[in-house]
Structure 1
Amino acid sequence: MTDAAKPSVLVTGGAGYIGSHAVLALRDAGWPVAVIDNFSTGFRFAIPDGVPIYEGDIADRELLARIFTEQNTRAVMHFAGSIVVPESVSDPLKYYNNNTVKSRALIEAAVGSGVPHFIFSSTAAIYGMPEVAAVTEDTPPAPINPYGWSKLMTEQMLGDTANAHAMNFCALRYFNVAGADPQARTGQSTEGATHLIKIAVEAALGKRTHVNVFGTDYDTPDGTGVRDYIHVSDLAAAHVLALEALIEQPKRSLTMNCGYGRGFSVLEVLDAVDRVTNLTVERRMEGRRAGDSDSLISDPSRIRKTLPWEPKHADLDVIIAHALQWERKLSDLRGE
């Protein structure tokens, strides 16, 4: 697709971690892009110069209609929402509001403005605790926390909407997203983040005294939880390819896992951080957190068959090195 033929994309939550990487991927590939973000967890420095920014809420129907008109928006990439699993257990109504109710408002606004393509930031949390070595998209959804339910409900809304209106969608079910832009243009910047690799590189740089290991009695080889870690830039690239697929076949919608199909335990990740940094991060063993599963690994066969997606950073040490590089730059940005 030539740059002149690429339609304008609105990225919700484009000042956040994954959203800002999607903005970079779109811009790098020549797509016109705009951002809406309420900046509750996002950062203006994460958005490249020249990208139109709208500060506001994705449930603001009038604002969305104005953006769609001003930007001639033809596709939405929806990242805005709340993402902390334990918080979803303690404050479920926040998650059903931010992730489900507001997504419904966004979908309705897109339909009302005739936006034909919608890409949704979903999650492997919809699978819950599957009793399979690697989950496929046909693994029955069985969320074990409100975060997973809030995302599954939005997938259902998109499916029903696509059946009733001139819109197709792609739901990308993320496994554990980590790392940062290889050029250190953006990365995970939220203070108090709960992502393991983010926490571990902070500890390696002296920003934390230790890393808590939540649960050592899981049904895994070393007793700690196993996850499939995917580099955020590879994930962003998948979004761009998914958008191209929606445009090429406007009557087809897609649901695909985004992972590498390889799992690492918490202790294996911490060993890798020690190896990459040549330091020893202190580990403190704690009890399990609510809503965490033993192991969650993707079967990425469908995305590999459907899209010309060739991950460039599928190496745990590379993911950690990029996260570390960003963490150092973030210290400079904040004058730490």
Structure 2
Amino acid sequence: MIRGDRDKDTICAISTPHGVGGISVIRVSGPQTLNIVSKICPFLPAHPESHKVYFGNLKNSQSGDEIDEVLATYFKEGRSFTGEEVIEISCHGSPLICQSILNQLVNLGARPADRGEFTFRAFMNGKLDLVQAESVLSLIESQSQQAAKLALRQLKGTLSHKLEEIEDDMTWILAHAEASIDFSTEGIEVIEENVIQVRLKKIEAGLKELVATFKVGRLLKDGFRIVLTGLPNVGKSSLLNLFLEDERAIVTDIPGTTRDVIHGDTTFEGVKFTFVDTAGLRDEATDLVERIGIQKSYEAQNESDVVFFVYDIEKGLGAEELQILESLDPAKTYILANKTDKIGGLNPWKLSKKH
């Protein structure tokens, strides 16, 4: 049974990744934080200073046995991440020690925090808005430098500030529109029409800017998804291995070697790129597994940000390949002439034009 006053509980959890490490940090937040932690950290003063670190031995509250040497950082209510009274215990990174400390905290009245509950409390206490709360997880899960920078800007309120400006302009227009209606019978003009038009154009421009930057922001956050497609045996798997600098895909001279969708991630200039190798496209495939792989190839193309259509430069672009190209989105499709090392000093463009 879930109580309705769970937000008033004092909660605790390990804030650092689980496992063995040099240190681990256990966060405690809520109205009884100091009262609970003081019973296992007797070195804490009765009135600790906010943002000050205290060193001492953490002990078992019942037996008095020492559990670990720790650092306890105190954050006063209103000056912490959650907005509540918070103490962060830095202990040695042993799962056994961490669990022992958590057991002590729970026995003394704290409750294990739910997933994301510290951030939820920060939002409920006005320390973060919804955009900033979402950016906390984005920053934690960022897999590239650009994604981390974007999440950090949102956490600092850059996007929230822009949204607030738009909201303020809309509120201003609505207030003056309502006032104009109220005083219309008295012939009083509260605001000129051209002034409202200027404000509306400003709102429209702001919204268009946000929409225009959405795709760029998504790509910086999640990375580019690039699909390698084309006929069988044109070298897609070799290119995947080259891009990833790893033998991720099996490479043979036998057409149809790749039967499934193969993924691989890499980072270039702070941006994440996910390369996807797919089964070669051909109509005469009779093997059930290969046909399923070809169907997945088409699905991967539709879900991609960029398509690299690969063809064999020695054979040129045939009718079947031209037909496939017509079905692809030209805005995100790039044609790669592969196996140029086999044509010596010939001009790849002139060679492809002959076919």
For CA contacts below 8 A with separation 6 or more, give which structure has more relative contact order: 1
Question: Normalization by structure 1: what TM-score?
Answer: 0.21
Give the TM-score of the pair, scaled to structure 2: 0.20
Task: State the structure with more CA Rg.
Answer: 2
